[in-house]
């Protein structure tokens, strides 16, 4: 059995009133200057929290400027603002983009390293600022992962900062914070979370410990995502998807994702397609590509998705692919690159960008060349 390193927040609070628990925990830490990254639609839900902090004499600087997937240039602006404010703590309350910025901000706030020095795996040397994350979408699992992803304007690529210092001190997952998320965003972020679980299971470096989280995450999300899209107020379905997303995030550190994410990144960097939607567009086609090398694992995925038929692994693997396609359609997401106005003549350019994401491609159960990537894009078109 391969050696595995598990790193998670020292405190993970999941369930009803987790926002209240965060407020109480934060007050006990005696911080005085909070830099809060969030999004405007969430502010009405934070009224009691902000009033309590004001009453306790805690200074709060609120930034709602992270609206899309963040770039390093976006981050530099936030870093300057937080330093000028004199923040002694950082909290992110929002989707994956907000949480990624909050995580990186807490690490860089009192750090002498340059941004260019820490891009990659394990290059960040420290974090000296308290960090808590509260997700408002069920997708990235960023609240429990060591990853932060940014667009690098210098070459147009998406790049990761991966470090144990990006794992928050506290993660507070309150499914009630996800209730107002629109159906399309619920669908895309949910498929993103499912992809985290699936790619951690169908992975060259899969591990029995992570398999438990991955398969349960697949089960929870596949059984409840459509319900969450149909009725956003279905708190039971929202809770199940939120838990599945946490499991997906817990998979990202010890195992991580693979070819789906590598091929999805150019859709975001070139066309600004939201990350979850990019994964949804490519997931079934990468699954098909991974047959037959990944059949045994893909058969396990199929069973977690609810496939009940018997048969050879190859038959179950194919049934799982069909199940994924059905789920994506049921959630109202497009199934082809052509449906979102991707230009066919850009496939070569996208493949050139995707082949550079070797940190993820190396995890895939089946090796990919640039020609293989072009073929997958064409099938997805």
Q: What is the pLDDT of residues 57-71, one digit of tens each?
A: 999 999 999 988 899
Residue 181 is given by DSSP the state S
Alpha-carbon span 294 to 364, nearest angstrom = 9
List, for residues 294-337, the tens digit of each pLDDT value. 999 999 999 999 999 999 999 999 999 999 999 999 999 999 99
Backbone angles phi, psi at 92, to 5 degrees: -110, 130
Could you report the per-residue pLDDT of 165-210, keeping only the tens digit for each? 999 999 999 999 999 999 999 999 999 999 999 999 999 999 999 9
User: Structure tokens of 119?
Assistant: 């891009």
Pick the CATH number of 11-178 from 2.40.50.100, 3.40.50.2300, 3.40.50.1970, 2.40.50.140: 3.40.50.1970
Read off the pTM. Answer: 0.95
Is 234 a residue whose pLDDT tops 90?
yes
Structure tokens of 377?
């894009």
**Tens digit of pLDDT for each residue in 281-297?**
999 999 999 999 999 99
As a CATH number, domain 183-380 is 1.20.1090.10
Q: Which spans in the chain are helix H?
A: 18-28, 47-55, 72-85, 96-108, 115-118, 183-201, 208-230, 235-252, 259-271, 275-289, 295-305, 313-330, 347-354, 358-361, 370-380
Structure tokens at 14: 């999941």
Q: For tokens 């009405």, what's the residue?
A: 44
Structure tokens at 196: 């985290």
- Return d(Cα 256, Cα 200) in angstroms, integer: 6
Q: With cut-offs at 50, 70 and 90, classify the pLDDT of residue 155.
A: confident
Q: What is the per-residue pLDDT for 107? A: 98
Query: Which bin fits 156, alpha (ψ -120 to 50), beta or left (φ > 0)?
Result: left
Tell me the pLDDT band of 257, cut-offs 50, 70 and 90: very high
pLDDT in tens, 121-136: 999 999 999 999 999 9
Q: Give CA torsion, residues 181, 244, 338, 184, to 10 deg.
A: -10
Query: Domain extents for the chain?
Result: 11-178, 183-380
**Percentage of residues in the chain having pLDDT higher than 70:** 100
- Residue range 100-122: mean pLDDT, rounded: 96
* 39, 136 contact by CB (below 8 A): yes
How would residue 157 be classed by pLDDT, with cut points 50, 70 and 90? confident
């Amino acid at each position: 059995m391969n050696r595995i390193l598990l790193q998670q927040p020292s405190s993970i609070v999941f369930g009803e009133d987790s926002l209240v628990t965060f407020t109480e925990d934060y007050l006990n830490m005696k911080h005085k200057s909070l830099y809060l990254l969030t999004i405007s639609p969430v502010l009405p839900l934070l009224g009691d929290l902000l009033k309590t902090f004001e009453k306790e004499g805690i200074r709060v600087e609120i930034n709602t400027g992270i609206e899309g997937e963040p770039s390093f240039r976006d981050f530099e602006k936030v870093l300057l603002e937080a330093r000028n404010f004199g923040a002694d703590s950082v909290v992110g309350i929002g989707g994956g983009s907000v949480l990624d910025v909050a995580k990186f901000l807490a690490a860089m706030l009192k750090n002498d390293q340059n941004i260019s020095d820490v891009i990659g795996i394990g290059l960040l040397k420290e974090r000296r600022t308290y960090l808590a994350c509260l997700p408002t979408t069920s997708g990235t699992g960023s609240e429990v992962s060591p990853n932060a992803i940014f667009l690098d304007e210098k070459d147009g690529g998406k790049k990761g900062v991966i470090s144990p210092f990006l794992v928050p001190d506290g993660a507070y997952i309150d499914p009630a914070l996800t209730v107002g998320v629109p159906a399309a965003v619920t669908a895309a972020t949910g498929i993103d979370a499912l992809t985290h679980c699936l790619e951690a299971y169908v992975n060259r470096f899969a591990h029995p410990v992570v398999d438990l989280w991955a398969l349960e995450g697949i089960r929870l999300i596949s059984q409840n995502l459509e319900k969450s899209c149909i009725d956003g107020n279905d708190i039971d379905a929202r809770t199940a998807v939120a838990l599945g997303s946490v499991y997906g995030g817990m998979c990202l550190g010890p195992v991580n994702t693979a070819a789906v994410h590598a091929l999805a990144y150019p859709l975001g960097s070139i066309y600004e397609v939201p990350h979850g939607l990019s994964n949804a567009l490519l997931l079934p086609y990468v699954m098909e590509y991974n047959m037959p090398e990944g059949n045994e694992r893909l058969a396990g995925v199929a069973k977690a998705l609810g496939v009940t038929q018997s048969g050879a692994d190859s038959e179950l693997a194919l049934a799982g692919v069909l199940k994924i396609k059905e789920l994506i359609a049921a959630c109202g997401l497009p199934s082809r690159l052509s449906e979102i106005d991707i230009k066919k003549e850009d496939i070569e350019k996208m493949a050139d960008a995707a082949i550079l994401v070797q940190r993820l491609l190396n995890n895939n159960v089946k090796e990919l060349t640039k020609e293989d990537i072009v073929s997958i894009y064409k099938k997805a078109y």
